[in-house]
Chain A
Amino acid sequence: MGRKRTRKTGKPVRVGELRPWSELLTEVLELIVSRLCLEDIVRLSCVCKKWQHVARSLYVVNQSPWLLFSPYGDGKFKFLDPSQGKLYSDQIPELKNKYILCSKDGWVLLSDLLCRAILFNPFTKSRINIPGYHASGVDYFALSCGPTSPDSVVFGIESNDAYRGVTITMFYPGDAKCRTDRYQNTDRALFSCGASPVFCNGLFYCLSRFSDKLVGVFDPQKHTWSILPVSPTNLLLRSHQHRVMHLVECKGEVLLVSVSYPDKPFIFKLDLSQMKWVELESLNGATVFISAYSSLSVTDVPRISRNSIYFSKMHCYGKFSHVYSLDDCKYHPFNQWHDMKVILKATVWIEPPKMGHLLFEKPLYMLCMSL
């Protein structure tokens, strides 16, 4: 350790006997382990049996999504790991002058200035072209899963009011081209997608821009599109403010998160048996990450607040209010944002590869210190 400093503040603290570190309280040891990279965790697990037990129970756990953003939109990108409070910087020229349309499983769907769509993995830098996919006019996109999975499909939806229907573009990675089909809306309803769709139990769910009474469902296997009439939320009665709606898949259910800072966010679950939105007071320990083009949820991630909503910068309006806890119904500061006063572009939550931080030799900033 080699500490040579002699100055001390306050009264000197002298404690005689050795402390039983091997018997350290599990919850505290877990906090320590959660700050370490895999290599350190592996070495730590060789120290003694108790530490091994804790380390092994932790290093297979779920990871936190990272926030991908470009402070200046110049091809320099940063990832923020909110569980570690670390920022990683990377030059990603592939993302320069591109729009992020959505993200899933560590991949992003991009559109270039000519509206050509590309699938890109910012961690492995692999890319998959989507021949013939023209992003202009398409309202929203979603990915069922990462394009390396066999049942992956890229989904794009565009409303077509004259036709009282929607135009849906699909691309199966590996195919020579994408397919575009028009579908008529059930009961010739007007439907315009108003939030990024989510993929849940094999279906894409889309929310109407104008009414939470209408949920569009697309089955990518049967190629069917239908509009479900859902008993609406009572949001309009409760709040006159403009609210931003997000759909999130959480533990096999479709959630609607309605945000209007500084009001508290509302969360509803789509109850398909009763065809209604059911308001949730709790996420049952899950954590939801909201960004404009991709929202996702996780459970049991060390150092991530449970029962909370994490916002991306784009969706945070208060200075230090980036996490909303459903436990105390308050917005909370998120320390690691402290130094970032720039407007963030292309902000999206993305799932990093397992132990993704090892991809970065050395984090440029370590903002672990709580201020």
Chain B
Amino acid sequence: MSSTKIFLKSSDDKTFEIDETAARASETLKNIIDGGCLDGVIPLPNVSSNILPKVIEYCKKHGGDNGSSKKIANGGVDKDKEILPDYDEEEDKREKVRVDELKKWEEEYMDFDQQVLYDLMLAANYLHIKGLLDLTVEKAASMIRGRTPDQIRENFNINSDFTPEEEEEMILIEDEWDDEWAFD
């Protein structure tokens, strides 16, 4: 399907091209397009040229369905199938292949450092790309899970801005919570 080209301008004045269908993965862009204000280039003052291609790459992959739902190959005629236990196994297999392929793509796509993560997360938030926001937020959460405050600071290059007294107090609180929530 041929599609209208949209031009996006990054914060540092570089212009990028994207298909309209892909751009629609972003709620923000979708609203601009549907609003009919498409005389030329859409400026994105919050997204730099470092990160915009990465965003476009995601949109291309998820164009049209804003990443929160997957495409149904046969156009949703299987509406009633979920009720029946004997759903189409072939379709199920194809769907599984698609899902696996997408997961693999996502894994490779998401292989970057915390600086890119930071920018991408904010870009996804600003552009309202739900699927990308979910992915990036989950990646950030996974860099926090099971880690001590020191390890978290190291992961994200954060300096503690607590006074030594506050630090001490917090260690106590942390221990308290640990005790309270020890279930086993």
Q: Which residues of A contact B (CB under 8 A)?
A: 1, 3, 5, 7-11, 13-19, 21-22, 24-25, 27-28, 31-32, 35-40, 42-49, 51, 317-320, 332-333, 335, 338, 341-343, 355, 358-359, 361, 368-371
List chain B residues, Cβ under 8 A from A3: 111
Nearest neighbor of B96 in chain A, beta-carbon distance: A339
List chain B residues, Cβ under 8 A from A1: 143, 155
| Interchain nearest-CB distance for B134 vs A (Å) | 4
B146 on interface, CB distance cutoff 8 Å: yes
Pairwise interchain contact B149-A319, C-beta atoms closer than 8 A: no
Pairwise interchain contact A13-B108, C-beta atoms closer than 8 A: no
Pairwise interchain contact A48-B181, C-beta atoms closer than 8 A: no
A14 to B119 CA separation, bound complex (whole angstroms) = 11
Pairwise interchain contact A28-B137, C-beta atoms closer than 8 A: yes
Pairwise interchain contact B145-A27, C-beta atoms closer than 8 A: no
List chain B residues, Cβ under 8 A from A358: 181, 183
Q: A10-B54, A32-B141, A42-B174 are in contact. Are A369 and B114 (CB under 8 A)?
A: no
Candidates A7, A13, A370; contact of B51 at CB < 8 Å: A13
| Interchain nearest-CB distance for B133 vs A (Å) | 7
Q: A9-B105, A9-B109, A319-B72 are in contact. Are A15 and B155 (CB under 8 A)?
A: no
Pairwise interchain contact B141-A36, C-beta atoms closer than 8 A: yes
Pairwise interchain contact B141-A35, C-beta atoms closer than 8 A: yes
From B5-13, B33-41, B75-83, the one touching the partner chain is B75-83
Pairwise interchain contact B146-A40, C-beta atoms closer than 8 A: yes
Nearest neighbor of B156 in chain A, beta-carbon distance: A21
| Interchain nearest-CB distance for B176 vs A (Å) | 9
The majority secondary structure among interface residues of chain A is loop
Pairwise interchain contact A21-B157, C-beta atoms closer than 8 A: yes
A18 to B116 CA separation, bound complex (whole angstroms) = 10
Candidates A18, A48, A335; contact of B69 at CB < 8 Å: A335
Q: A22-B159, A341-B82 are in contact. Are A35 and B137 (CB under 8 A)?
A: yes
6 A-B residue pairings within 8 Å (CB atoms): A21-B157, A25-B125, A32-B144, A48-B153, A319-B81, A341-B81
Pairwise interchain contact A8-B111, C-beta atoms closer than 8 A: yes
Candidates B70, B111, B158; contact of A48 at CB < 8 Å: B158
Nearest neighbor of B118 in chain A, beta-carbon distance: A19
Nearest neighbor of A45 in chain B, beta-carbon distance: B170
B106 on interface, CB distance cutoff 8 Å: yes
A163 to B12 CA separation, bound complex (whole angstroms) = 80
Pairwise interchain contact A15-B183, C-beta atoms closer than 8 A: no
Pairwise interchain contact A333-B122, C-beta atoms closer than 8 A: no
Q: A46-B170, A335-B69, A371-B70 are in contact. Are A15 and B116 (CB under 8 A)?
A: yes
Pairwise interchain contact A333-B68, C-beta atoms closer than 8 A: yes
Candidates B70, B137, B144, B167; contact of A40 at CB < 8 Å: B144
Nearest neighbor of B70 in chain A, beta-carbon distance: A371
Pairwise interchain contact A40-B109, C-beta atoms closer than 8 A: no
Pairwise interchain contact A46-B83, C-beta atoms closer than 8 A: no
| Interchain nearest-CB distance for B89 vs A (Å) | 11
Pairwise interchain contact B69-A320, C-beta atoms closer than 8 A: yes
Q: A10-B57, A333-B68 are in contact. Are A24 and B106 (CB under 8 A)?
A: no
A9 to B103 CA separation, bound complex (whole angstroms) = 14
Q: A7-B108, A15-B119, A319-B82 are in contact. Are A46 and B149 (CB under 8 A)?
A: yes
Q: What 10 additional pairs, Cβ within 8 angstroms, besides A21-B114, A31-B133?
A: A8-B112, A9-B109, A10-B109, A44-B149, A48-B160, A48-B161, A319-B82, A335-B69, A358-B183, A370-B130
Pairwise interchain contact A32-B109, C-beta atoms closer than 8 A: no
Pairwise interchain contact B68-A370, C-beta atoms closer than 8 A: yes
B29 on interface, CB distance cutoff 8 Å: no
| Interchain nearest-CB distance for A220 vs B (Å) | 36
A21 to B152 CA separation, bound complex (whole angstroms) = 11
| Interchain nearest-CB distance for A282 vs B (Å) | 20
A3 to B158 CA separation, bound complex (whole angstroms) = 21
Nearest neighbor of B132 in chain A, beta-carbon distance: A370
List chain B residues, Cβ under 8 A from A47: 149, 152-153, 156, 158, 160
B173 on interface, CB distance cutoff 8 Å: yes
Q: Which 6 A-B pairs have the closest CB atoms?
A: A19-B118, A21-B156, A46-B149, A35-B141, A333-B69, A370-B134
List chain B residues, Cβ under 8 A from A332: 68
Pairwise interchain contact B137-A369, C-beta atoms closer than 8 A: no
